[in-house]
Amino acid sequence: AQTVTQSQPEMSVQEAETVTLSCTYDTSESDYYLFWYKQPPSRQMILVIRQEAYKQQNATENRFSVNFQKAAKSFSLKISDSQLGDAAMYFCAYRSPINRDDKIIFGKGTRLHILP
Amino acid sequence: ETGVTQTPRHLVMGMTNKKSLKCEQHLGHNAMYWYKQSAKKPLELMFVYSLEERVENNSVPSRFSPECPNSSHLFLHLHTLQPEDSALYLCASSQDTPRGRAGEQYFGPGTRLTVT
């Protein structure tokens, strides 16, 4: 069965610094999707970044980038130039291909604090 | 209205009540989802309607009953709930393709459910 592990329940970073959130997963599939979602105190879940497993290039979205290591089954999120608005819970998620017993699994989350 | 909307935002119900949660997406997507978010637990996928097919989730108790009358609307019918069903219920939608390529999910603001 697929699993997603976020080993850091909480992290803190100084404003304007860079922080990396870790995520590992387990699957026997070769084609799948990985996501990072952000949930601020408002509870609105917001997509941060998406990676398709068949793509070797790491996804980037402005200050957010991932380090996707398929062999190691690792999918870390790097936030550069951290801003106060980045404070939130961050969830890593795995999704299997739709036509293969659609599974969507979230990690337990990492609470990120931004220190002014 | 834009994005994904959910009503009501807050709901308190007794264990013998019957109520329904409503979700509407204004994004033209073809897949919709119900999630349960409890304290200290990972986000749990409850139901998926993708490409007009419902993906069963046998681990969800029968006191939760989904209904998807069309691609824009999704309901979660609740009856004889238990206190442990108290949680934030999130709806999401995505645009998936018949070839099995999953789109990223856009989430609604959630319904905070309290069962007394």
Please compute the mean of the pLDDT values over residues A60-84 and round it to a whole number: 96
Residue A66 has pLDDT above 60, yes or no: yes
Quick one: pLDDT band at residue A2, thresholds 50, 70, 90?
confident
Cβ of A45 within 8 Å of Cβ of B101? The answer is: no
Contact A29, A100 (CB under 8 A): yes
How far is the C-alpha of A42 from the C-alpha of A46, rounded, in Å?
11
Mean pLDDT of A89-101: 81
Dist. CA A51–CA A65, nearest whole Å: 10
Segment A2-14 mean pLDDT:
94
CB contact under 8 A, B42 and A35: no
Among candidates B48, B102, B109 on the partner chain, residue whose Cβ is nearest the Cβ of A43: B109
Q: With a cut of 90, say whether residue A87 has pLDDT above it.
A: yes
Q: How far apart are CA A39 and CA A34, in angstroms?
A: 17
- Most confident region among B6-10, B47-51, B67-71 by mean pLDDT: B6-10
Average pLDDT over residues B73-78: 96
Residue B99: what pLDDT?
64
| pLDDT for the residue numbered B100 | 61
Kindly report the number of other CB atoms within 10 A of residue B18's CB atom: 11
Residue A91: which of B43, B50, B100 has the nearest Cβ? B43
pLDDT higher than 60, residue A100: no
DSSP state of A106: E
**What mean pLDDT, rounded, does chain B reach?**
89
Give the rounded percent of residues in chain B with a pLDDT score beyond 70.
91
CB pairs under 8 A between A and B: 55
Per-residue pLDDT tens digits for B76-87: 999 999 999 999
Grade residue B58 by pLDDT with cuts at 50, 70 and 90.
low
A51, A98, A99: best to mutate for the B interface, most B CBs within 10 A: A98
B102 touching chain A per CB within 8 A: yes
**Residue B37: its pLDDT value, please?**
94
- What tokens does A86 get? 């980045």
* CA-based end-to-end distance of chain A: 41
CA pair distance B86, B65, nearest whole angstrom: 16
Distance CA B109, CA A75 (A): 26
Handedness of CA B68, B27, B25, A48 (dihedral sign): positive
The C-alpha atoms of residue B96 and residue B99 are separated, in whole angstroms, by 8
Closest by Cα among A72, A79, A104, A22 to B45? A104
Whether the per-residue pLDDT at A20 is higher than 70: the answer is: yes
Per-residue confidence band for A12, with pLDDT thresholds at 50, 70 and 90: very high
Distance CA B104, CA B33 (A): 12
CA distance B70 to B16: 29
Q: What mean pLDDT is reported for chain A?
A: 92
Q: How confident is the model at residue A61 (pLDDT cuts 50, 70, 90)?
A: very high
Residue B70, judged by CB atoms within 10 A of its CB (0-12, 13-18, 19+), counts as exposed
Calculate what percentage of chain B has a pLDDT beyond 90: 64
Cβ of B105 within 8 Å of Cβ of A47? The answer is yes
Residue B104 contacts A, CB cutoff 8 Å: yes
What is the distance between the alpha carbons of residues B36 and B47, in angstroms, rounded to a whole number?
Answer: 10
| pLDDT at residue number B98 | 67
Residues in chain A with CB shorter than 8 Å from the CB of B99 are: 99
Q: B91 at the A interface (CB within 8 A)? A: no
Note whether A102 contacts B48, CB cutoff 8 Å.
yes
CB burial of B24-54 (b: ≥16 within 10 Å; e: otherwise) equals bbeeebbbbbbbbbeeeebbbbbbbbbeeee
B2-34 per-position pLDDT tens digit: 799 999 999 999 888 899 999 999 999 988 999
Asked if B106's CB is within 8 angstroms of A47's CB, the reply is yes
